[in-house]
Structure 1
Amino acid sequence: MIGILVIITISWLLLYLIEKQHILALGFFPIGKRLKQFLFGFLITGILCVLVQCLESYLTSSTWILNKDITARIILKSFWWDFKSVMTEELIFRGAVLYILIQKIGSRKSILISAIAFGIYHWFSYGVLGNVMAMILVFIGTGLMGYAWAWAFSKTKSIMLPLGLHLGWNFIHNTLFSKGPLGELVLISKGGTELTDWASLLNFTSGLVMAPIFVIIYVIFFVKEETETK
């Protein structure tokens, strides 16, 4: 939490020194509208993540069972961990720096820069630096997601929709399906067989390519372009 406060402070300073703006320029208000965007984003990527996990379960003939040791306290603790990690990344990649870039060089270039930076960042956070194939796959998947979320920031003039989109995916992936660094949480995968080449490719494209493409389509056609108010 201290890290988030530090990032907010630095963001505020950057916004003030470069654009004469304050932290609210990142679009936290009006509360009702932004909360709706956040919740809708959470729902969209949450559903996409469930569909991807169901496809993987079907392809591998595996099943999901409820973790008998799970408790509400563990779920809330995991949610808080997901929220902090997502909020940190959003403030860095879809926060003050992206806002300033958009003002200086326009949306298209800024969104692309944000997406590339997000993809490269995950080489380090996923620990794949040096593994060329893993670097390519991670860059494609996280870069496309970063592109979708940066575009959502640009269109809504707010961090709240990308925050919801990001948290919806991470929470369902990490906490509900136990695919994150916190270990076995709500559901545990049991059984299954190793995927063939074609099935493995289908599974890869569904999670790392098709899911962010669906989010991009949603942002393009269903998210209204907002006018920034200063």
Structure 2
Amino acid sequence: MIGILVIIAISWLLLYFIEKQHILALGFLPIVQRLKQFLIGFLLTGILCVFIQYLEAYLKSSTWILNKNVTSGIILKSLWWDFKSVLTEELIFRGALLYILIQKIGSKKSILISAIAFGVYHWFSYGVLGNVMAMILVFIGTGLMGYAWAWAFSKTKSMMLPIGLHLGWNFIYNTIFSKGPLGELVLISKGGNELTDWISLLNFVSGLVIAPILVLIYVKCFVKKETEIKTMPDNELS
């Protein structure tokens, strides 16, 4: 949590000294509208993740069973871990730096830079550096999703929709389907067969390509482009 507070402080300083803005320029207000965007994003990627996991189970002929050892406290602890990791990444990739880039060089270039940086970052977080094929696949999947989330930030002028989109996917993937680093949580995969090369490719495409493309379609067609609202007059910041 201390790391997040440090990132927020640095973000605030960057916004103030470069753009004469403060942290609310990242779009946390109005509260009701932003919470609605957050919830829509959470539900959208959460449902997509459920579909992808059951598609994988179908292809593998496996089933999902409830973990009898999981408790509400463990779930809340995992949710808190997911939230902290998501907020950290969002502050870095869809926070002050993206806001400043958009002001300086425009949305299109800034979104692309953010997506590339997000894809490269996951080479390290996924531990695939040096494995060329894995690096390509991870870059495509996370880069596309990073592009969708950065575009959502650009259109809404807020971090709340990207946070919802990111947390919805991570929480369902990590906590509900036990795919994260915290081990077996709510659901556990049981049985099944190893996927053949072609079926494995289909599974990859559905998870790391089709899902972000669907999010991109949502952002393009259903997210209204908002005009930037100054959170404080310039003379109050100077």
TM range (shorter): over 0.9
Please list, as runs of the form range in 1=range in 2, the aligned pairs for 1:126-141 lying within 5 A after superposition: 126-141=126-141
Gaps of 5+ in 2: 231-238
Q: Hey, what does 1:24 align to over in structure 2?
A: 24
Distance 2:15 2:133 in 1: 38
Please list, as runs of the form range in 1=range in 2, the aligned pairs for 1:64-213 lying within 5 A after superposition: 64-213=64-213
With normalisation by structure 1, the TM-score equals 1.00
What is the number of equivalent residue pairs in this alignment?
A: 230
Superposed displacement of residue 86, structure 1? 0.1
Superposed displacement of residue 40, structure 1? 0.4
Letter in 2 for 1:149: W
Letter in 2 for 1:111: I
Superposed displacement of residue 141, structure 1? 0.5
Distance 1:127 1:79 in 2: 23
Superposed displacement of residue 105, structure 1? 0.2
Distance 1:20 1:12 in 2: 10
Q: Secondary structure at the match of 1:215?
A: helix
Distance 2:198 2:51 in 1: 19
Letter in 1 for 2:215: V
Gaps of 5+ in 1: none
Superposed displacement of residue 201, structure 1? 1.1
Letter in 1 for 2:144: L
Q: Secondary structure at the match of 2:188?
A: strand
Q: Secondary structure at the match of 2:46?
A: helix
Of 49-58 and 188-197, more deviation after overlay is shown by 188-197
Letter in 2 for 1:54: Y
Query: Alpha-carbon deviations, 1:129-181, whole Å to 9, x = none?
Result: 11111101110110000000000000000000000000000000000000000
Task: Give runs of ≥4 in structure 1 deviating > 6 Å.
Answer: none
Distance 1:51 1:223 in 2: 22
Distance 2:25 2:192 in 1: 48
With normalisation by structure 2, the TM-score equals 0.96
Q: Hey, what does 1:215 align to over in structure 2?
A: 215
Q: Secondary structure at the match of 2:63?
A: strand
Superposed displacement of residue 198, structure 1? 1.8
Distance 1:207 1:113 in 2: 23
Distance 2:80 2:229 in 1: 32
